Structure 1
Amino acid sequence: MNATDRPRFAPRWLELRERADAAARAPELLHPLLEWMSARAPEGPPGGKGGLVIRDLGCGTGSMGRWLAVRLPGPQHWVLHDLDPLLLAHAGARMPVTAADGTPVDATTRRGDLAALTAADLAGTSLVTASALLDLLTRDEVEALADACVDAGCPVLLALSVAGRVELTPPDPLDTEIADAFNDHQRRTDQGRALLGPDAIAAAVAAFERRGATVVVRPSAWRLDCAESALTAEWLRGWVGAAHAQRPELAPEAVAYLRRRLEECAAGELSVAVHHTDLLALPGPASGSAG
């Protein structure tokens, strides 16, 4: 797989969604993660005496790092992975410099294909994380990620994977048809890669559990209203556009539907719940409170 095989995202879109992403992520997954790390502290911190080493896969503009670094205690070194050098520049320049307890945070960027990571590459890594990435992977890529992380004894926190469910208020007769077409688009075969889309969470749970990991999932929905009208409008364009691309025969109805929904959004009359799921995978059997 090469750099042209994966979708590219404009910094503007990633920045537009950052506040909604931060509000949606499931902070309750941090408790079992920190408990797991603490239980292994007598063996020495996974990142060595310099603190945690955290790899952010498909980091985009770095929103996951900005959200997570300030919620974890202790010194941290982040390795930001992405194929897009422009996004890496954004991410590297905007990482926090202190952790939850005031200890230092630093970051380096690494351009390359995250699907090629192996257990050897993850040696010394304390945590692998990603946001809005899992549903863009294939089944083989999810299996390879689970292999690498479990073999390296490294926990994994994967946020904001699409769940395939959207709720719009007020409802519209075309909502279900657009949603079904969008979900089919998320599962499309793109340049020979059969994307998992909303099936990614189930595939990841199965892949990690087969390898003996403890897996915890929590909902992480976007809840958009008039306070997020710019994001809602941009999301609508992309959502309906993907549905139309998947089913061109929807063209007349989809155009009218998008116009109606954008008018409702501009008038402050539309609210949307876009459902996602966050996943935490911890190598080894469950502790008393991991679930």
Structure 2
Amino acid sequence: MRETAVTQQAGQIPGQPGPRDVTDAAGTALPTEQELAPPTPEAGSGDGVIPGAGPTPRPGERATVRLREDGPDDQPRYAPEWLQLREPADADARAGELLDPLRIRLANLPGRSGLVVHDLGCGTGSMGRWLAPRLDGPQHWVLHDRDPYLLHFAAVASPRSAADGSRVTVETRRGDVARLTPEALLGASLVTASALLDVLTRAEVDILADACTGAGCPALLTLSVAGRVDIGPGDPLDAELAEAFNAHQRRGGLLGPDAVTATCEAFSERGATVHVVPSAWRLGPDEAALTAQWLRGWVGAAVEQRPDLKDRAEPYLRERLAACEAGELHVTVHHSDLLALTRPGGPA
């Protein structure tokens, strides 16, 4: 069963008055939540497309995965509006059954008076808002991301207390998983990430596994795409779009739907015990806004991969969005959560 007892509602960026224990890696106080509030969707935008939430197929709609044009070495910058929109579905989907083996492992860590959690690719900090209130004891979260704006956004909206009321503090580090080392994780109790593995290459997954096993800390890696989507009612074009989308996810050597298998192999080869549990989004009428944005991104990526689909995809998308608005569409987007229990103290 999913765990639901949390101290704040998932998907909300809570106002948290009073002094905060939030700094960047240099010890500089971070801006307030009000200063970092994301822009609202533009007035008169028709469908209410969120800037930066996913590729869109129609002229005049802004690309949904990026907030800016990226250079050849840059990963996409994700819009906080999109990350906030998906946060309740993410929270509901994450595999709570992995928390018991994780708690057992954390409780048996030698010589630790509190937890140090490194959150890789933290985005707006949804993983911390989900996990910190489910773990006991003092916690210090180290938030990693390449985007300084998202780092600040995550820090000011971080939880203040653990499940037992213990203090939670945070710091931020701007960085890249490709540069992660065991030394960077010195003293870490846990590494977490959400929706990260599928945008990594196999070489980057190996770096992640090396760092975690070298530091002897477990890794909880959630919401990696599994390459399967179920849409009801069905349509003959569903399977062809899904195939094109999966190919798009693998472009440039990224793992996409192969990420969980590759990550299991990488950690297992280094002596870790790996658990994998399904963590699907189940979207119905109550999640219509998220479903609509997801549809635009899913179809848009498929068409980008296969332009020959455009003539059929445009009416398909219109019909799907109309069904979504009418409350007649149900979508299951399959993901997997992975818990890698490395050997304490590093590999033998």
Structure 2 length normalisation: TM-score? 0.77
- Within 5 Å, give how 1:267-282 maps onto structure 2: 267-282=326-341
Matched, 1:31 2:100: yes
1:82 aligns with 2:151: no
Q: Deviations over 1:42-88 (max 9, x none)?
A: x212xxx3x11001000000000000000000000001101111111
The Cα of 1:161 is off from its aligned counterpart by 0.1
How far off is 1:114 after superposition? 2.2
Question: Partners in 1 of 2:219 and 2:122 — Cα distance?
Answer: 14
User: 1:3·1:113 contact (CA, 8 Å) conserved in 2?
Assistant: no
Distance 1:240 1:15 in 2: 21
Among 151, 154, 179, the alignment partner of 1:91 is 154
Determine which structure has the larger helix proportion and give its number. 1
CA distance in 1, matches of 2:116, 2:273: 21
SS of the residue 2:103 aligns to: helix
Q: Does the alignment pair 1:258 with 2:317?
A: yes
* Maintained 8 Å contact 1:3/1:83: no
Residue from 153, 176, 201 that aligns with 2:260: 201
Q: 1:211-250 alignment to 2 at 5 Å?
A: 211-250=270-309
| 1:20-47 alpha-carbon deviations (Å, 9 max, x no partner) | 000000011010011112233xx212xx
Task: Report the aligned-residue RMSD.
Answer: 1.2
The question of 1:13 aligning with 2:76 is answered no
Q: Which runs of 5+ in 2 are unaligned?
A: 1-70
CA contact (8 A) 2:217 2:343 kept: no
Residue 224 of structure 2 contacts residue 259 of structure 2 at CA under 8 Å; is this kept in 1?
A: yes
**Aligned residue for 2:111?**
44
Residue of structure 1 equivalent to 2:21: none
Structure 1 residue 4 displacement after superposition: 4.3
| Structure 1 residue 5: Cα displacement | 2.3
* SS of residue in 2 equivalent to 1:5: coil
Q: In the alignment, residue 254 of structure 1 is paired with which amino acid?
A: A
Contact 2:177-2:207 at 8 Å conserved across structures: no
Question: Secondary structure of the residue that 1:200 maps to in structure 2?
Answer: helix
Match of 2:169 in 1: 106
**Does the 8 Å CA contact 1:261/1:270 hold for their aligned counterparts?**
yes
| Whole-angstrom CA distance in 2 between matches of 1:198 and 1:102 | 38
Q: What is the CA–CA distance in structure 2 between the aligned matches of 1:10 and 1:4, rounded to whole Å?
A: 19
- Provide the residue aligned with 1:289 in structure 2: none
Separation of aligned partners in 2, 1:85 and 1:3: 19
* Map 1:81-230 → 2, pairs under 5 A: 81-189=144-252, 194-230=253-289
1:3 Cα offset (Å): 9.3
Amino acid at match of 1:23: D
Q: Percent identity?
A: 65
Unaligned runs of 5+ residues in structure 1 are 286-291
Distance 1:112 1:119, change over 3 A: same
SS of the residue corresponding to residue 121 of structure 1 reads helix
| Shift in CA distance, 197/31, structure 1 to aligned 2, threshold 3 Å | same
Q: CA deviation at 1:109?
A: 1.1
Q: Distance in 1 between matches of 2:210 and 2:74?
A: 22
Deviation string, structure 1 residues 174-216 (Cα, Å, up to 9, x no partner): 0000000000000011xxxx10000000000000000000000
In the alignment, the residues of structure 1 paired with residue 242 and residue 102 of structure 2 have an alpha-carbon distance, to the nearest angstrom, of 34
